[in-house]
């Protein structure tokens, strides 16, 4: 019997796309024979995951969960919305969310964490083989507070806490938690609708600011106005940019005459204690994923290769 080394398990996994535990079991069952182990996995239907891994997964679900003063958000992608409505897919996402809280949203730690005797990554590989469609754990986020609340919000939920747009809002305060949750939900709804990119003006990175400023300067120069006027025009457009992308500077969707920072200040005054928007996370399903365009004939042909 050949020695079942880590490198042998790795080689089998690379050849088949099956999970680490499945590869180890296959090698054990076949006395360490690599080719027999490949056949073993093929017979079990576990080697198909590799072929599916190249297919674009832009559907799926975003999930949110809160555990006390901690919360996590995860995007799990699939190729079709049909699979996203599969109970096993949703159950797996729910389990991953629990792991994500424990691992503070660190994706590499999540993938290597234990889930019922297997790693999360291996469990996902097995699920891919079982359902027959590529799936990807795309990203995760984590929010927490020392005092206060972490509030989840799910827009267009398919099942509780799973849907197309997920938000976590963290409010730091010693105020009544019920009141904070009420405020937090309103802010979370605003974040879902307005899709801010930054928490505060100070959080806008220098590269982004320089890029926007450069565009505004070029736009202003075409006006033919004096340099001092151009400078003021650029400053005005930068302020407008902040109002578009910084959550605290945005007009509040439920009361556009006020900014989000005004709503928080009003809440602090009403509750008699400071309230701080410590962080927010917003995941929109599939945003930024390049969707591969293929005709049906090409897709069929690729499956035959």
The answer as to whether 217 is a domain residue is: no
Same domain, 171 and 135: yes
- Mean pLDDT score of the chain, rounded to an integer? 87
Q: Which tens digit of pLDDT belongs to each residue from 12-54? A: 877 777 778 888 888 999 988 888 888 787 666 555 444 554 4
How many angstroms separate the CA atoms of 26 and 37, rounded? Answer: 5
Same domain, 169 and 120: yes
What SS3 state is found at 106?
Answer: coil
Same domain, 64 and 154: yes
Q: What number of other Cβ atoms are within 10 A of residue 144's Cβ?
A: 21
Please count the residues of the chain.
305
The answer as to whether 85 is a domain residue is: yes
Q: What is the mean pLDDT of residues 254-264?
A: 97
Radius of gyration of the chain (CA): 25
The answer as to whether 204 is a domain residue is: no
Same domain, 12 and 66: no
The answer as to whether 300 is a domain residue is: no
Same domain, 149 and 190: yes
Q: Which tens digit of pLDDT belongs to each residue from 216-254? A: 888 777 777 788 888 888 889 999 999 999 999 999 999
The residue among 195, 107, 187, 176 whose CA lies nearest residue 151 is: 187
With pLDDT > 90 as the criterion, what percentage of the chain qualifies? 60
Same domain, 34 and 81: no
The answer as to whether 82 is a domain residue is: yes
Same domain, 87 and 175: yes
The answer as to whether 69 is a domain residue is: yes
The answer as to whether 70 is a domain residue is: yes
**pTM of the complete model:** 0.76
Same domain, 30 and 144: no
Exposure letters 199-233 (e unless 16+ CB within 10 A, then b): eeeeebeeeeeeebeeebeeebeeeeeeeeebeeb
Same domain, 64 and 192: yes
- For residue 63, the domain's CATH number is 3.30.479.20
Structural domain including 28 reads 6-47
**Do residues 140 and 105 make contact, with C-beta atoms less than 8 angstroms apart?**
yes
How many distinct structural domains can be found in the chain? 2
Q: Which tens digit of pLDDT belongs to each residue from 134-143? A: 899 999 999 9
The answer as to whether 216 is a domain residue is: no
- For residue 41, the domain's CATH number is 1.10.8.10
Q: Please, where are the H alpha helices in 75-176?
A: 81-84, 87-102, 107-112, 120-131
Rounded to 5 degrees, what are φ and ψ at 37? Answer: -65, -35
């Amino acid at each position: 019997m050949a020695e079942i080394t880590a490198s042998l398990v790795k080689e089998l996994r690379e050849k088949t796309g099956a999970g680490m535990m499945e590869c180890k079991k296959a090698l054990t069952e076949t006395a360490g024979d690599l080719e027999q182990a490949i056949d073993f996995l093929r017979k079990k239907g576990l080697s198909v995951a590799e072929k599916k891994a190249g297919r674009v997964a832009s559907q799926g679900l975003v999930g949110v969960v809160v555990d006390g003063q901690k919360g996590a958000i995860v995007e799990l992608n699939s190729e079709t919305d049909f699979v996203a409505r599969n109970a096993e897919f949703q159950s797996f996402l729910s389990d991953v969310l629990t792991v994500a809280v424990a691992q503070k949203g660190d994706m590499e730690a999540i993938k290597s964490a234990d889930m019922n005797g297997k790693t999360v990554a291996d469990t996902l590989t097995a699920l891919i083989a079982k359902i027959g469609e590529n799936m990807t754990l795309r990203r995760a986020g984590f929010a927490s507070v020392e005092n206060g609340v972490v509030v989840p919000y799910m827009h267009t939920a398919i099942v509780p806490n799973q849907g197309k747009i997920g938000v976590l809002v963290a409010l730091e305060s010693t105020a009544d938690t019920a009141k904070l949750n009420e405020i937090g939900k309103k802010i979370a709804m605003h974040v879902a609708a307005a899709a801010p990119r930054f928490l505060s003006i100070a959080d806008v990175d220098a590269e982004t600011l320089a890029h926007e400023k450069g565009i505004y300067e070029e736009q202003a120069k075409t006006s033919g106005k004096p340099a001092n006027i151009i400078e003021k025009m650029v400053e005005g457009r930068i302020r407008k940019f902040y109002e578009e992308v910084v959550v605290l500077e945005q007009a509040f969707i439920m009361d556009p005459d006020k900014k989000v920072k005004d709503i928080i200040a009003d809440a602090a005054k009403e509750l008699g204690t400071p309230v701080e928007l410590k962080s927010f996370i917003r995941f929109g399903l599939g945003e930024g994923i390049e969707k591969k365009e293929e005709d049906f004939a090409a897709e069929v042909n690729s499956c035959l290769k």
